Amino acid sequence: MDTRQAPTTARSGRLAALPCGHRSKWVVLLLWIVLIAAAGPLAGKLMGAEDNQASSWLPGSAESTQVLNEQRAFQPIDQAQAVVVYQRTDGITAADRAKAAQDAMAFATAPHVLGRAIGPQESADGKALQTVIPVDISGSGGWNQLRPAVDSLRATAAANDQGMTTHVTGPAGIGADQAAAFAGIDGTLLFATVSVVIVLLLLTYRSPVLWLLPLLSAGVALTVAEGVIYLLAKHAGLTVNAQSAGILIVLVLGAGTDYALLLTARYREELRRHEDRHEAMAFALHRAGPAIGASSATVVASMLCLTIARMNSTRGLGPVCAIGVLVALLAMMTLLPALLVICGRWVFWPVRPAYGTPEPTATGRWAHVGAWIAHRPRKVWIGTGLALTACCLGLLSLNANGLSTAGSFTGKPDSVVGQQVIDQHFPGGTGAPLSIISTADSAAVVRQTAQSTPGIAGTTPPVIQAGKAFIQATPADPPDSSRAKATVDRVRTAVHAVPNADAKVGGSTAVILDAGRASASDNRAIIPLVLVVVLLILAGLLRAVTAPLVLITTVVLSYAAALGISSFFFAHVFHFQGEDNAFPLFVFVFLVALGIDYNIFLMTRVREEALHRGTRAGAVAGLAATGGVITSAGLILASTFGVLGTLPVVGFAEIGFAVALGVLLDTLVVRSVLVTALTIDLDHRMWWPSALSRRDREMNPPPPHHLLASRT
């Protein structure tokens, strides 16, 4: 046994001993029982507190958002237009017209429908009819309110259709299909994530009991986090939507389980050196705690960087995820240690870490990998770096310019088919007109200006209210097409030039355009900020400059390689249309924040070993000690994010695939091979300019064939 590393509980730090003291462990358990009892009912209300209105997703300062707010003077409550389209390929009949007219009257009784339907209107080629119905989307339910309305419209239109094909599309139809895609997302993600975590914990621990404690702690953390977030959403103005609530589940369970794995591994290691399990846990917390704390700090800081985003959906995601990670950290540093100490060594059955037994990692698989790297570190890191750089070539396939309506679903729902029918028979922007707000005195000029703009098929007469005018203009192209977006820019340029009109242009296409530009701006602002924040955290933790710069560079390379491989698969294997505007940012934040974790866990252990062995031997010893548990943690985190791919939404599937791939790359290649090889090759220079760099330079580390020597 290594007596050099056998301090008493007091020496391990009073704070580290609190969760695992002979009496304090019961106090900690009692406090968490009280917390879960209070947070449980609140967590169940979180879905009801979600704000899925358009304004909770859009950039707050964008012109389209301003129009949406001013439009309420003319449409007092939020509404979306549903377009019911009827098609008969050999021509609409008189009976078809009568059926559509009868349906238009019946639509008024559908849930959440406002006023009378407009139409039916027949297409110029005589093969289709369309009716426009306004649907109420006011209130916090947002697009979730569209489902019952659209379901009713579809049932009415399909009844006795006499051989016609019927579809419900437009903003309301699309929103209803999106709501259906997100329906039960929290339950689906929770069930799938928990199932994956259970399987991987069983494989990692090879114990029929031990897996319960990390999973229980992670579940408690998720419930408490959801309860806290509900209170903040209800009383402090925190915005939560379906996106942030779904990612919260994956992040808390994934990151929380990671922290649990790392702490449990260090605790098991210390049980072989300490006869008293309370002292073993205190030492494990004292040694692993700073690394786990720094790891969570990088995630929290990265998430809080999202609060400067222009996109409301991105800005709201940051605090939600930061709260989740903080609660997960608190649970894994207090509740889990208390549970492990209460249960005792038997919880590791059938392989109990008995006091005085040798540490198996010292001569395990990762120790051999480290020794192999130590013989040829420069060749290893150059070869690995070139391979990852080659993977970055897949970025040529990256098309993060936003997804069309059809491209946002992994399948082909009714609203997408209906929009394709409209595109065949009507002006492309039917059902999704541009909304123009101007002064009342300039209304006629603004309307004429918009009407004469290329790409506009028609305009409505101005509606005057309180000195303002409201005009709708129908684009000639589909609302999510690049041609329609260009039309928005032309209309804006034209109406902005009308003197004293104070004209603004919004509508569905303008929203898509503004969201894309806001996301691009967020990418440029947040990505560098996250890099700087993480670099500062690493510098403070490792007390060096070289090591943080090396680690940041490797993580960025890992991110670029993951993005390149993912882009290739999206374009050539999954045949996705492209990537969402926010895709690069979300993947970057998650990969840098989570990917740097494994480097933190490795390098803090390497630094600890380097104090006594020298950097080269310390790098091999650190890899041997952390390789297995970090690999297990990476597999669990990758699998939890991979669960996002089960959702029928392309944006979530892409984020899940790319983050899962990036975590695997970082765990299996970057951290275990590239970082280890660089550390061995740079040697004492890795810790420049700290005192360790000068001290390590004077040490005489053992040759490679001695690096596997176990502690004596």
pLDDT in tens, 340-350: 998 888 888 87
Residue 54 has pLDDT above 70, yes or no: no
Q: State the pLDDT at residue 384.
A: 93
- pLDDT for 404 equals 73
3-state secondary structure of 223: helix
- Residue with the bigger pLDDT between 593 and 308: it is 308
Euclidean distance between CA atoms 31 and 37, whole angstroms: 10
The confidence score (pLDDT) of residue 315 equals: 83
Does residue 705 have a pLDDT over 70?
no
Looking at residue 53, its pLDDT comes to: 63
pLDDT digits (tens, 9 = 90+) for 448-472: 999 999 999 889 898 888 889 999 9
Contacting residues for 649 by C-beta, under 8 A, at least 6 apart: 178, 181, 182, 408, 409, 410
Who has greater pLDDT, 300 or 407?
A: 300
Highest mean pLDDT among 89-98, 109-118, 608-617: 89-98
pLDDT in tens, 63-100: 888 888 888 777 655 677 889 999 998 899 999 899 99
Ranges of each domain in the chain: 78-182, 422-513
Q: In a 3-state reduction of DSSP, which class is residue 600?
A: helix
Q: Strands 504-507 and 434-439, how do they pair?
A: antiparallel
**The pLDDT value given to residue 571:** 85
CB 232 within 8 Å of CB 326: no
3-state secondary structure 150-211: HHHHHHHHHCCCCCCEEEEEHHHHHHHHHHHHHCCHHHHHHHHHHHHHHHHHHHHHCCCCCC
Cβ distance 526 to 578 under 8 Å? no
User: Would you call 247 helix, strand, or coil by DSSP?
Assistant: helix
pTM as predicted = 0.77
Question: How confident is residue 8, by pLDDT bands cut at 50, 70 and 90?
Answer: very low
- Residue 712: band (very low, low, confident or very high) from pLDDT cuts 50, 70, 90: very low
pLDDT of residue 363: 62
Helix (H) or strand (E) holding 457: strand 456-459
Residue 51 pLDDT level (bands cut at 50, 70, 90): low
Instruction: Give the confidence band of 406 by pLDDT, cuts at 50, 70, 90.
Output: confident
**Phi, psi dihedrals of residue 454, rounded to the nearest 5°:** -55, 135
The C-alpha atoms of residue 213 and residue 191 are separated, in whole angstroms, by 18
> Residue 119: in which H helix or E strand, if any?
strand 118-122
pLDDT number for residue 497 = 93
Mean pLDDT value across residues 553-567: 91
Burial 14-36 (b: 16+ CB within 10 A, else e): eebbbbbbeebbeebbeebeebb
Specify whether the CB–CB gap between 165 and 90 falls below 8 A: no
> Is residue 375 a contact partner of residue 20, using CB atoms and an 8 Å limit?
no
User: Percentage of residues in the chain with pLDDT exceeding 90?
Assistant: 20
Is the peptide bond preceding residue 350 cis, with omega within 30 degrees of 0? yes
CATH of domain 78-182: 3.30.70.100
Q: Shortest CA distance to 280 belongs to which of 475, 18, 12? A: 12
Q: Which residues contact 97 (CB under 8 A, 6 or more apart)?
A: 120, 122, 129
Q: Is the pLDDT of residue 58 over 60?
A: yes
Q: What is the pLDDT of residues 664-690, one digit of tens each?
A: 898 888 888 999 999 999 888 888 888
Q: 370 and 296 in contact (C-beta within 8 Å)? A: no
pLDDT at 14: 63
Domains 78-182 and 422-513 share a fold: yes
pLDDT in tens, 151-178: 888 988 888 777 889 999 888 888 888 7
* 410 CB-contact burial (10 Å; exposed 0-12 / middle 13-18 / buried 19+): middle
Instruction: Give the SS3 label for residue 661.
Output: helix
Element (H, E) at 649: none
The pLDDT assigned to 141 comes to: 53
For 505-523, write each residue's pLDDT tens digit: 988 888 888 888 888 888 8
pLDDT band at 625 (very low <50, low <70, confident <90, very high): confident
Distance in angstroms (rounded) separating the CA atoms of residues 348 and 357: 14
Averaged pLDDT score across all residues of the chain: 83
Percent of the chain clearing pLDDT 70 (strictly above)? 89
DSSP-derived letter for residue 298 is H
Q: How far is residue 634's CA from residue 508's CA, in Å, rounded to a whole number? A: 40
Return the CATH class of domain 422-513: alpha beta
pLDDT, tens digit, for every residue of 130-149? Answer: 998 888 776 545 566 788 88
**Per-residue pLDDT tens for 347-382?**
888 777 777 777 666 666 888 888 899 898 999 999
> In this predicted model, what pLDDT tens digit does every residue of 253-308 receive, in sequence order?
888 888 888 888 888 888 888 888 888 888 888 888 888 888 888 889 888 998 88
Residue 528: enclosing H or E segment and its boundaries?
helix 508-542
Structure tokens at 50: 């979600």
**Residue 57: which pLDDT band, with cuts at 50, 70 and 90?**
low
Mean pLDDT of 570-577: 85
Helices 508-542 and 277-305: crossing angle in degrees, nearest 10, is: 140
